[in-house]
Amino acid sequence: MNATTAMTAGSTHSPLRSYALEAWYEWRRLLRTPSYVIPTLLFPALFYVLFGVVLNKGSGDAARYLLATYGVFGAMGAGLFGFGVTVAMEREQGLLVYKRALPMPPGAYLAAKMVTAVLFASAIFVLLAVLAATLGGVSLPAGQWLLLALVSTLGVLPFCAIGLFVGTLVGGQGAPAVINMLFLPMAFLSGLWLPLKLLPSWISGMAPVWPAYHHAQIALKVIGMDGGGQLAVHLGVLVGITALFAGLARRRLAA
C-alpha cells in the first residue's frame, strides 16, 4: 500500500461514525460541566423527594402524579439548558463557525446535542422511578413503567427545539437568565408542581398554551391521571412546536 492509498483509506469512514463520535464527545463534555449536570439531574429528584414523598407521605396518588410531571420537568431542563445555553455560548465563542469548517456531516452537531439531551432525560426518569418505587411506594405494571419512560424521554425534543431557538437569539451570558424565565414559570403554569385543579381557574384555563402542559398530559394519561384531553391533540401540539422552533432556529443559524 503506497502513501496515497493509505491516506485515502484513513480519510474515509462512515458518516455514522461522525455522528457517533460527535455525540460521544458532547456527552463527555456535559458530564464534565457541573453547572449543567448537578441541577439537571438532581433538582427533579430533590423536588420529588420533597413534594412527592416528604410533604405527601402516605398519598400514593401524589407520588404517582409527581412521578409523571417531574419526569416532564426533568426533560424540560435537559432540553432547554442543553441546547439554549450551550448553543448560545458556542455561537458567541465562534465554535459554530469552526464546526462548519470541519469535514463532518452538517447535522452531526445538532444531532449530538439531541442525543445527549435524550440520554439525560432518560437518566432523570430512571432516578425518579427508583425514588418513586422505593420511597414513594409507587407500583405500576411493567408496561406502564416502560411507556412512561418513553414519554418522558422523547418529550425532551420540543424543549430542545425551543432551547435551540433561544440559543440563536441571545448571547452566552444572557442565555441562562432567559431559559430560567421560560423554564420555571412554564413548569408551574403547566401543572407540573401542583395539579391544575388546585390552582386558580385562570391558570388552568391558560395551561394549554404551554408545551409542558401537553407533555405532562400525555405522561399523566399513561397512569390514568390526565385531564381527559385527546392524545392526538397533545401530540399534534408538541410536534408542531418542535417543527416551528426548529425551523426558526435553522433560519437563524443559516443567516
Q: Grid coordinates representing 105?
A: 456531516
Contacts of 9 (CB under 8 A, 6+ apart): 1
Would 141 be classed as within a structural domain?
yes
Phi/psi of residue 109, each to 5°?
-60, -50
Whether 144 maps to a domain, the answer reads yes
Contact status, residue 183 vs residue 89, Cβ threshold 8 Å: no
155 belongs to a structural domain: yes
Three cell numbers, residue 42: 438532581
Domain membership of residue 1 (yes or no) is no
Q: Say which DSSP state 198 is in.
A: G
Which set of grid coordinates corresponds to residue 222? Answer: 399513561
Q: What is the Cα–Cα distance from 246 to 22, expressed in whole angstroms?
A: 20
Give Cβ neighbours of residue 172 (< 8 Å, ≥ 6 apart).
85, 88, 89, 91, 92, 93
Question: 165: Cβ–Cβ under 8 A, 6 or more apart, which residues?
Answer: 245, 246, 248, 249, 252
Domain that holds residue 69: 15-254
Q: Is the dihedral of CA 198, 146, 229, 60 positive or negative?
A: negative
Q: Chain-wide mean pLDDT for the chain?
A: 88
Query: Is 111 inside a domain boundary?
Result: yes
Percentage of the chain exceeding pLDDT 90 = 60
- Confidence (pTM): 0.89
Distance of CA 58 to the CA centre of its chain: 30
What local confidence, expressed as pLDDT, does residue 236 receive? 97
Percentage of the chain exceeding pLDDT 70: 93
Number of compact structural domains in the chain: 1
pLDDT tens, 154-178?
A: 999 999 999 999 999 998 889 999 9
On the question of pLDDT at 9 being above 50, the answer is no
For 86, counting Cβ atoms within 10 Å of its Cβ (0-12 exposed, 13-18 middle, 19+ buried), the class is buried
Whether residue 28 is contained in a domain is answered as yes
Q: What is the mean pLDDT of residues 100-108?
A: 76
C-alpha 229/C-alpha 109 separation (Å) is: 36
Is the pLDDT at 209 greater than 50, yes or no? Answer: yes
Cβ pair 30, 123 in contact under 8 A: no
User: 221 in a domain, yes or no?
Assistant: yes
Q: pLDDT at residue 141 above 70?
A: yes
CA count, 13 A, side-chain hemisphere, 61: 5
* Residue 10 included in any domain: no
